[in-house]
Amino acid sequence: ENPTVPPISEQPELPTSQPMETASQPEPDMEAEYARIIRETVAYAESYAAKGFTFVWDDSLEFSWESGAGWMGTPRVKYEGVDGTIEMLKYHIDKIVKIAGGPGTPGYSAYYKVMQVTVDGDIAFVVLYG
């Protein structure tokens, strides 16, 4: 018998019938999640290089409703969740490739930028292209 471990009968009983308290669950590190959204979207865009299409990062692209830069949507973490936001941004990357390589204009590259924005007070993300 191990003297440092109390006998089973002396160990405290774990509650089984009470629902878990949401306040006691750790909050996810949202800054890390936001960085992951951008990192995974950029990695996806860069993966197109293997298919002959190059995305070129352009820090000069800025998001605004009247901007000259193109964008397709602003998925919000509040509604889409982190993984849903990433999937939607990947879909936008796919659409940019189709636009750049549209009929009559063979596209092999596009300037782009992935960024966090605020839309109606909510955290959102966007893929800008130009």
| Beta carbons within 10 angstroms of residue 86's beta carbon | 21
Q: What is the pLDDT of residue 12?
A: 47
All residues at 6 or more sequence positions from 76 whose CB lies less than 8 Å from its CB, including other chains: 85, 119, 122, 123, 124
| Beta carbons within 10 angstroms of residue 90's beta carbon | 17
**Separation CA 111–CA 81 (nearest Å):** 27
Least confident of 8-22, 27-41, 57-71, 85-99: 8-22
Q: What is the pLDDT of residue 11?
A: 47
Residue 26: pLDDT above 90? no
The conformation of residue 63, written as its DSSP 8-state character, comes to -
> What is the average per-residue pLDDT within 111-126?
95
The residue among 7 and 59 whose pLDDT is bigger is 59
All residues at 6 or more sequence positions from 36 whose CB lies less than 8 Å from its CB, including other chains: 82, 86
pLDDT above 90 as % of the chain: 55
- How confident is the model over 89-115, as pLDDT tens digits? 999 999 999 888 766 556 688 999 999
Q: What is the pLDDT of residue 130?
A: 85
